[in-house]
A and B are shown apart, each in its own frame.
Chain A
Amino acid sequence: MTDLAAAGASAVPATAATRPREGIGLRALAGLTAQLALAWAVVWVFQIEGPGFRRLVPLVVAGFVGHALLPLAWRLPAFTLLSLAAAPLVLEPEVAAWVVGLGLALVAICHLPIAWRWRIGLLLLVGGGAALAKGALLSTPVPPGVWSVLAGLFALRILIYVYDVRHATQPVGPLKTLAYFFMLPNVCFLLFPVVDFKTFDRTHYNEAPATIYQRGLRWIAMGLLQLLAYRVVYQEITLDVTQVHSGGQLLQYVFTTLLLYTRVSGQFHLIVGLLLLFGFNLPRSNNRYLLATSFTDLWRRINIYWKDMMMKLVYYPSFFALRRRWPQGSSVILATGIVFVVTWALHSWLWFWARGAVLLSWTDVAFWSAVGVLVVWSTWRELKAGPKRVLGTGAPGWSGRRGVRILGIFTLFSLLWSLWSAESLGVWAGALSTVTTLRWTEGLLWLGLAGAFVLFAGWNWDAIAQRQEADARWDGGLAPTALLCGLLALSPARAPSWIPDPLTGYVQALHKSGLNKVDKERMGRNYYEQINESGARALGVQESRRGNPWLEVHGAAHQVRSDFLVRSLIPGAKLSADGMPFSVNSQGLRDQEYSLAKPAGVQRIAVVGSSIVMGLGVADGTTFEALLEERLAQDSAVPPHEILNFGIGGLSHVQAVFVTEHLARPYDPDLLLFTIHEPDPVFLARHLRHVLEQGVAIPYPEVARIVEQAGLHAGMSEGEALRRMEPLNDELSRASFHRLAAWGRERGIPVLAIALPIPLEGSGARLATYIEMVQEAGLGVIDLRDIWAGQDEARMVIRPEDHHPNTEGHRILAERLYRELRARPDLLGIPPTKPAISAPSRTP
């Protein structure tokens, strides 16, 4: 290809003389709308992104058709109106009103007729106030959800806008400003590409509309493909760092964690594609970033809009300031270093607005420092030698050297990304130490994969793609139509019969929009337990704690103990959340007062478990334990019962043994019920870590042995403890169940496990293993794994991000437990029913 006028034409400014044809034929519009409808079907069938986005899609489809038919002069106002209309469609009306109102105020400050330094000062003042409000340090009437959305629209774009308006040679129209800040899909994507204002303005209909629209649809299709590929990687392929116990798993963790970025890339393709449908002919946001040939090349390919913002706001201004004192080469190197320091700071800034906490972690510092050094080094090499530049993208041929080079960059960047994703440097280093256990079969497998990667990466994909795009068949709607139809062919929730068996799991993963198995457990870890855990940042628990008073209650209700239990409820504590009282009796139970001595003629049931038993999220007297007690009391066939609640937040199976032996035993129970629950590995790791930190004696030899075997020690991070305990968790649970069985046998007390899943789609998988262990120990099981079947799980939990059962959930639990116990009358001390004696028949 020698004529490059077409290459990158999207960025060529249009003038009145060069502005292409403004309209679009009805036939072309029908074809484009059909493709958009296919994309809508994919979004609908696979439940792509959140419900807000899915509500927005019909507006986009209808808006696109109406917008495309309007005269050019009306399209920008129409897009602006459509964007503003999207806010109340996606957000709560009150939040939408605040977002629009505060946003307009920020724009107004940018245009005040005062000196720029005063305008910037005012913006800083308002931003500072908003940050204090977001951090709950300043009380305002603004609903809490407003700040995250407002920051998603303004936190970065206002920097670009101020810079561009300040240096603009022509006045900026209000419509373009409103369209820029409130652009259509932003309200449902708070992680949004940093669109440049000048580019947004300059590229509006700078090519024929049909060309722009078709490019947009191609990117939408590519975005959807990436979002679905992400699900397969996330659900089926990648590992969490805590799951790394061998060299093979280490390689799987390192090389698949970076692939999770396909979600961001997919979202950005989708977002930019949508903007193209309204004439904003923006450039690509990510461009084959896995095929970078150097770190500078990677920086230019991954999150291109961010790179462009850094160039504009930091790199060039720094360079121009530095070159007054330093030589050109040194100024370039220093400016590059400054870019990475600012990039790190801005990531922390964005984290604060999204999560409500400042992001300060060594993994973050290490990642950005390493990437910064590598890009500076790569820049220095380019300064010395200069990369080979060509007109166009070169020949599409294959080169082994290119393939190997790309593999090297991919490997190094994957390693750094795995560091960034790890909970702490210690956890990451611990995972890396498993490399020595790499088996030769695993090594051969990964060597084969590396070879296949080199074979693939050796081709010049930039040149191949450019040729394809120049081809009318590819440039038209054929490719996106084929891609979208292909995705729809995989749409049945069960894998179609023509899919080979080994691949069915991957196809099913396309439909899994929730958390994967590990993150479900991590969610348990985050909302069940303490606030200051280092792993909390991964799921933003800080923010949920601020907005979730039950987690404050959870923290305030517990005290530290000096024995193996480590924590228990504070006797006499009186707290409340959401207007519901949370009281602890004088003996430290979330329950009414009971005498230690069992009243004559009364049978006692002790219920031991974690925060669900304790009733986090429900008022006094409405825990399933209390409701069950009430229910039994109403049943005249059941002898008098007292049910005692020994629930403690985050109680592991091992601790359940201790609670039974030391807290429940003095109450002389006639029946012991204890819950088995999925997040036990997290509870256990946290508990053992606290035991070691406090130097508490371990009363159970098997626990002491396993602690030693796992190499746990005081000061170890929770993530590292979790990783080391992973292969040993089941052994400890099994031992705990045997101890409980022995305890029951010695006292002639029946002991039953309650298999209790949380109301969350897909939860309960680990319970099957625990049930087997419990049965192996000779204990009975009350299996509640199906308890949430047929229920709307979202209506059973206390908050969307907190899956503790609410009052209705506890009512369902109590009712079910009542029926389960009534079906086993011996457990309730109900005398066996005597067989009915029929009256002797009289013979006539």
Chain B
Amino acid sequence: MERPGRTGQRLVAVFTAGVILLNYPILFLFARPVSAAGVPILYLYVFGAWTALIAALAYVIERSRE
């Protein structure tokens, strides 16, 4: 197993990225009446960023277990 210190730091990095991505002002960039495939891009963006965060968390955690 990799040193837990590294995993913790990576998780903090994901956390920081999440805080920035899912708050003003980044959020503001997507709060406009534009749709993609019928869905407003704000929703697409929030759920997309959320999914990406979870994927990053999973990657960091599972990598530390190998």
**Same complex:** no
